[in-house]
Amino acid sequence: MKAYERLLKYVVVRTPSCDGEEEHPSSQCQFDLARLLEKEMQELGLTDICLDEHCYLYGKLPATPGCEDKTSIGFIAHMDTVSDYCDHEIVPVITENYDGRDLPLGDSGLTLSTDIFKHLPGLAGRTLITSDGTTILVADDKAGIAEILTLIERLQTENIPHGPISVAFTPDEEIGTGASGFNVEQFGAKYGYTLDGDTEGEIQYENFNACKARFDIQGFSVHPGSSKDTMINACLVAMEINSLLPGMETPRGTEDYEGFFHLTDMSGDCAKAQLNYIVRDHDKNFFEARKNTLRLIEKNLNAKWGEGTVTLTITEQYKNMAEIIDGCMHLIDNAKKAAEAAGIEPQVIPIRGGTDGCQLSFKGLPCPNLGTGGHAYHGPYEHITVEGMDKSVDMIVELVKIYAEM
Output the tens digit of pLDDT for each of the chain's 406 residues. Answer: 999 999 999 999 999 999 878 889 999 999 999 999 999 999 999 999 999 999 999 999 999 999 999 999 999 999 999 999 998 999 999 999 999 999 999 999 999 999 999 999 999 999 999 999 999 999 999 999 999 999 999 999 999 999 999 999 999 999 988 999 999 999 999 999 999 999 999 999 999 999 999 999 999 999 999 999 999 999 999 999 999 999 999 999 999 999 999 999 999 999 999 999 999 999 999 999 999 999 999 999 999 999 999 999 999 988 999 999 999 999 999 999 999 999 999 999 999 988 899 999 999 999 999 999 999 999 999 999 999 999 999 999 999 999 999 8
- Of 80, 172, 206, 390, the active-site residue reads 80
Annotation says 173 is catalytic: yes
Nearest by Cα to 328 from 196, 191, 202 = 191
Give whole-number Cα distances, 348 to 55, 147, 328, in Å. 31, 20, 15
Report the SS3 class of residue 371.
Answer: strand
Burial class (CB in 10 A: 0-12, 13-18, 19+), 66: exposed
Cα–Cα distance for residue pair 74/166, rounded to 1 Å: 4
pTM over 0.85: yes
Q: How many CB atoms lie within 10 A of CB 360?
A: 26
Give yes or no: residues 64 and 143 share one domain. Answer: yes
Same-domain check for residues 361 and 340? yes
CATH number for 302: 3.30.70.360
The reply to whether 284 and 330 lie within a common domain is: no
DSSP bridge pairs for 314: 213
Closest CA to 166 of 193, 141, 147, 139: 193
Number of neighbours of residue 333 by Cβ within 10 angstroms:
13
| N residues, the chain | 406
Domain count, the chain: 2
- Which residues form the domain of 95? 3-207+320-404
353 and 300 inside one domain: no
For the chain, the first-to-last Cα distance in angstroms comes to 29
Whether 80 sits among the annotated catalytic residues: the reply is yes
390 and 248 share a domain? no
Write the CB contacts of 102 (distance below 8 Å, at least 6 apart in sequence): 111, 112, 113, 114
Q: What is the pLDDT of residues 351-373, one digit of tens each?
A: 998 889 999 999 999 999 999 99
Of the residues 261, 284, 318, the one at which a domain ends:
318
Q: Which amino acid is at 161?
A: P
Q: Which residues, including other chains, have CB under 8 Å from residue 68's CB and lie 6 or more apart? A: 62, 163, 164
Task: Give yes or no: residues 180 and 241 share one domain.
Answer: no
| C-beta separation of 399 from 160 below 8 A | no
- If asked whether residues 75 and 152 sit together in one domain, one would say yes
Task: Work out the number of other CB atoms within 10 angstroms of the CB of residue 19.
Answer: 17
Of 173, 202, 382, 390, which one is the catalytic site residue? 173
Which H or E run contains 104? strand 103-104
> CA neighbours within 13 Å on the CB side: how many for 99?
4
Residues 132 and 115 in one domain: yes
Q: Is residue 9 within 8 Å of 22, Cβ to Cβ?
A: no
Paired sense of beta strands 73-78 and 165-170, if any: parallel
Question: Whole-angstrom Cα distance, residue 101 to residue 104?
Answer: 10
Q: How many CB atoms lie within 10 A of CB 243?
A: 9
Both 103 and 27 in a single domain?
yes
Tell me, what CATH number does 359's domain have?
A: 3.40.630.10
Please say which residue of 275, 299, 318 terminates a domain. 318
Q: What is the pLDDT of residues 171-211, one digit of tens each?
A: 999 998 899 999 999 999 999 999 999 999 999 999 999 99
